[in-house]
Amino acid sequence: MSYRVAVRGLCEFGARAGDLDLRFTPAPSALEGIVGHQQVAAGRGAQYESEVALEGQYGELLVRGRADGFDAARHCLEEVKTHRGDLTRQAANVRALHWAQAKVYGWLICQQRGFSELTVALVYLDVDSGKQTRFEERHLAPALQQVFEQLCQRYIQWAEQEQAWREARDRGLKHLAFPLAKWRPGQRELAETVYKAASTGRCLLAQAPTGIGKTLGTVFPALKAMAAQQLDVLLFLTAKTPGRRLALDALARLRTPAAPLRVLELVARDKACEYPGTACHGEACPLARGFYDRLPAARAQAAEAGWLDRPALREIALRHQVCPYYLSQEMARWADALVGDYNYWFDVSAWLHGLALQLGWRATLLVDEAHNLVDRARGMYSAELDQQRLAPLRKAPLPGLAGPLQRLWRAWNALNAEQSAPYQASPTPPAAWLAALQGCIGALNTCLNENPQGLQGPWLEFYFDALQVQRIAERFGQGHIFDSHLYSLGRQRRSRLCLRNLIPAQALAPRLQAAHSAVLFSATLSPARYFLDLLGLPADCAWLDVPSPFAAHQLQVRLAGHVSTRYQHREGSMAALAQVLAGQYRRQPGNYLAFFSSYQYLEQALVALRAEAPGVPVWAQAPRMGEPEREAFVGRFVEGGQGIGFAVLGGAFGEGIDLPGGRLIGAFIATLGLAQLNPVNEQLRQHLQQRYGAGYDYAYLYPGLHKVVQAAGRVIRDEGDQGVVVLIDDRFAQPQVQALLPRWWPRAEPCPPALPGEYGQTLPLLG
């Protein structure tokens, strides 16, 4: 058996030592790094070799890489690194890693060219000043060989273990059996199509009804394809926390002693942090102190454990006194299946996507509830700055920032002076404003270099927001616009500027292509053309529409067409809305979910229902609920319970939760889910109309009805379920709306009229 590893991977595995030190310092961009390496090479003379391909063997381990440069005149192997700021602040573990890389390359070139000794140099280039700082060491070839072999010995033991794990995993997956006694209707068709896509490296857009077991029906075939096609990793990406839990449950069912799987749950740093508010370095955090010294033992135990959801990984990390978040980043390299948010792969600076490119993964993506990806991606590839946040910084500038801030302020005011309407959009961002912003970023970089702790609070927030604008400006394309919201602050004019992504296809296409295969699935992916256009799916993307296993007799659909949920009608229709809720509950007591377009509308409806029917138990979603609060909300839906849970359409309870049987017998949907009519959404409509000829449908109708169908899908979760969906708005009767509702639903029947004295007075129809 032979193994391969890149020089970088070999050194990252075995050469890091000491503290974890992540004190923020501005780092050069990838482009700045490339230009910096070229700058160093250009100044070395004719005998200088750059990008020297090297490889060497140790036992069964082949090590490969490209050394930055070899200076024949000095007989010197150079490892070039770009940086910003004072090198004396560089973390010790980073310097140790750089020296290890340089020495490994040093031995490889000695071996290849027969050198008996060599000068090895670290060359640091400050990308702002152009200054080079050089560290040199003279080594005999045997000393460099010893460094190389020690690193190889550490790695090869791990590689042998990992190879044994991989072989056992693949043997188990080849014989993996579906864990349920029988397939649900439609589930097998979904699984077979996912297997074909994962096996052939295709992209698949799969619409499958809520309740057929989409998670298990996608994870199982993707794992089977891993063994057959020698794929490296399965990435299950979710929009919300409930989807992550469902994926982990499915993987737990499939993971057995006969089919071992290393499963890792990815959790955001702020949620995984054991010492919130503490800086990530050894002087401040005990879990960062000596992190790399304790990492090998923690890594070994985590690898042996295999099941690494949030509680399990945390337990291992704390046992070894290392940071759980950064242990999870290390274990991502060795996991078979990773479960995490969309942003780990699709965001501008998604580290999992970068890791996959670095390691050359052949990965299968499973994108859960993919109808959410359009809006999520728009947010990932947009950036905004408000002028008012700059005002207090300008009045009390840090040293060296007065001039750059003043220039940015003037450029901003010049834009305000040219703007004649409260909202204005243009196809490109203003060059002068971007240049002034870049000047501020440069000055802030200098401040951070000179005093890493000097930027706090509003300064640091502004800096990170400005960096995001810079990143988006570099990616600004046809799917973007630049817009400005002008507002008054006393007698002063201020504006909020945004580089806004409207069509994320251009940004998402390379991320989808980077995977061996990608399966995007949801209950609401109609019409397919909408998602093909906006998500950047390849031309040969396959489409699957799984028929529903549910029958019309399982669901009653009621239409409360006498109630208008339009904003201008809400106050007048509130009593009628409460009568609809109370009437249905009195006819058939049980657990219901009621969905509204906003928290304000939810609160108004809650007040009205309490006045109409004070005896009906109610509980409500609140803004910014944490995980314990969300779990408590769902926990109220017990078998045989009674009451109405109030929620916001498109929020945490509109999808991804499973309440079968008597836990939920009905849903009220008091909105079409249409986006608010405002200048930004109208700009989106116009842009989509120009590009696709379907502006209103793409901007308003399709996204709104996707939320409606998702919410209604909470009711029927199994072939034995019975329930009711009450659609509250006259527009639900329109043909173009009816066409977007599930085909298996029965024809909507009018809600029974309220009886005088029982449900209150019925209001006249609203136009």
CA 169 to chain centre: 27
> What's the pLDDT at 1?
65
Residues in CB range of 52: below 8 A, 6 or more apart: 66, 67, 68, 69, 70, 105, 109
Read off the pLDDT of residues 403-458 as tens digits, 9 standing for 90 and up: 999 999 999 999 999 999 999 999 999 999 999 999 999 899 888 877 767 778 89
Q: Provide CB contacts within 8 A for 684, sequence distance 6+.
A: 502, 695, 699
Over residues 335-355, mean pLDDT: 96
Closest CA to 190 of 219, 161, 226, 149: 219
Maximum C-alpha span of the chain: 102
What would the two tokens of residue 332 be? 């991502």
65 vs 547: CA distance, rounded Å:
51
Q: Two tokens at 405? A: 């801030």
Three-class SS of residue 688?
Answer: helix
Q: What's the rounded Cα separation, in Å, for the pair 587 and 148?
A: 78
Range from 364-373, 453-462, 529-538 carrying the lowest mean pLDDT: 453-462
Q: Where are the beta strands (DSSP E) in 626-696?
A: 643-648, 666-669
pLDDT tier for residue 761 given thresholds of 50, 70 and 90:
very low
**Whether pLDDT at 110 is above 70:** yes
Span 1-30, average pLDDT: 86
Encoded tokens for 114: 């027969």
> Considering the domain 552-750 in this protein, what is its CATH number?
3.40.50.300
The separation between CA 200 and the C-alpha centre of its own chain, rounded to angstroms, equals 26
Closest CA to 52 of 33, 37, 30, 62: 37
What pLDDT shows up at residue 24? 63
Q: Which amino acid is at 362?
A: R
What's the rounded Cα separation, in Å, for the pair 245 and 407?
Answer: 49
Q: Looking at the predicted structure, is the pLDDT value of residue 602 above 90?
A: yes
Mean pLDDT along residues 654-669: 92
Q: Cα separation of 731 and 628, whole Å?
A: 37
Q: What is the pLDDT of residue 764?
A: 32
DSSP 8-state code for residue 256: B
- What the block records as the tokens of 578 is 């409460």
In the chain, where the domains are located = 3-157, 179-266+334-381+504-547, 386-500, 552-750
Question: Among candidates 497, 463, 464, which has minimal Cα distance to 481?
Answer: 497
Q: What is the DSSP string of 330-375?
A: HHTTT-SEEEEETHHHHSTT-HHHHHHHHHT--EEEEETTGGGHHH
Report the Cα 102 to chain-centroid distance in Å.
35
How far apart, in whole angstroms, are the C-alpha atoms of residue 713 and residue 732? 16
Higher pLDDT, 375 or 755: 375
193-197, 375-379, 650-654, 728-732: least confident range: 650-654
**What digits encode the pLDDT tens for the residues 628-658?**
999 999 999 999 999 999 999 999 899 878 8
pLDDT band at 763 (very low <50, low <70, confident <90, very high): very low
pLDDT in tens, 552-573: 999 999 999 999 999 999 989 9
Question: Where residue 65 falls among pLDDT bands split at 50, 70, 90?
Answer: very high
Percent of the chain with pLDDT over 70: 98
CA distance 544 to 522: 11
Q: Does 133 score more than 80 pLDDT?
A: yes
Please give the average per-residue pLDDT across 168-177, as a whole number. Answer: 94
- Work out the average pLDDT over 20-31: 77
* DSSP run (H or E) holding 206: strand 203-207
- b/e per residue, 739-750, with b = 16+ CB within 10 A? ebbbeebeebee
Q: How many beta carbons lie within 10 A of that of residue 175, not counting itself? A: 10
Q: What is the pLDDT of residue 757?
A: 39
Q: Which of 318, 301, 762 minimizes the C-alpha distance to 562?
A: 762
Higher-confidence residue of 23 and 58: namely 58
At 254, the pLDDT band (50, 70, 90 cuts) reads: very high
Single-letter amino acid, residue 488: S
* CA distance linking residue 514 with residue 347, whole number of Å: 14
The C-alpha atoms of residue 684 and residue 532 are separated, in whole angstroms, by 17
Could you give the strand order of the β-sheet that contains 383-386, starting from the edge strand earlier in sequence?
A: 383-386, 492-501, 480-489, 423-426
Average of per-residue pLDDT across 317-346: 97
Encoding tokens for residue 448? 């951070």
Task: Supply the pLDDT for residue 165.
Answer: 94
Determine whether 186 is exposed, middle or buried from the number of CB atoms within 10 Å of its CB (0-12, 13-18, 19+). Answer: buried
Q: Give alpha helix (H) positions in 560-651.
A: 570-587, 599-612, 627-635
Strands 480-489 and 423-426: what pairing?
antiparallel
Tell me the average pLDDT of the chain. 93
- Radius of gyration of the chain from Cα atoms? 30
Q: Indicate the residue type of 82.
A: T
CA 402 to chain centre: 37
Tokens of 587: 């006819």
CATH superfamily of 179-266+334-381+504-547: P-loop containing nucleotide triphosphate hydrolases (3.40.50.300)
- Give all strands (DSSP E) within 276-430, no chain letters: 307-308, 337-341, 363-367, 383-386, 423-426
| Residue 679: predicted pLDDT | 95
Work out the angle at residue 512's Cα, subtended by the Cα atoms of residues 507 and 514, and round it to the nearest 5 degrees.
Answer: 105
Least confident of 168-177, 641-650, 664-673, 755-764: 755-764
* Bridge partners (DSSP) listed for residue 57: 62
Average pLDDT for residues 192-215, to the nearest whole number?
A: 94
Question: Do β-strands 492-501 and 383-386 pair in parallel, antiparallel, or remain unpaired?
Answer: antiparallel
Task: Say if CB 412 and CB 433 are below 8 A apart.
Answer: yes
The answer to whether domain 179-266+334-381+504-547 and domain 552-750 are alike in fold is yes
Mean pLDDT value of segment 314-337: 97
Query: Which of the listed CATH numbers 3.30.9.10, 3.90.320.10, 3.40.50.1820, 3.40.50.150 matches domain 3-157?
Result: 3.90.320.10
pLDDT band for 88, please (50, 70, 90 cuts).
confident
Q: How confident is the model at residue 758 (pLDDT cuts 50, 70, 90)?
A: very low
Say yes or no to pLDDT of 755 above 60: no
Distance CA 300, CA 334 (A): 11
**And the tokens for 2?**
């032979």
Phi/psi at 65 (5° precision)? 180, 180
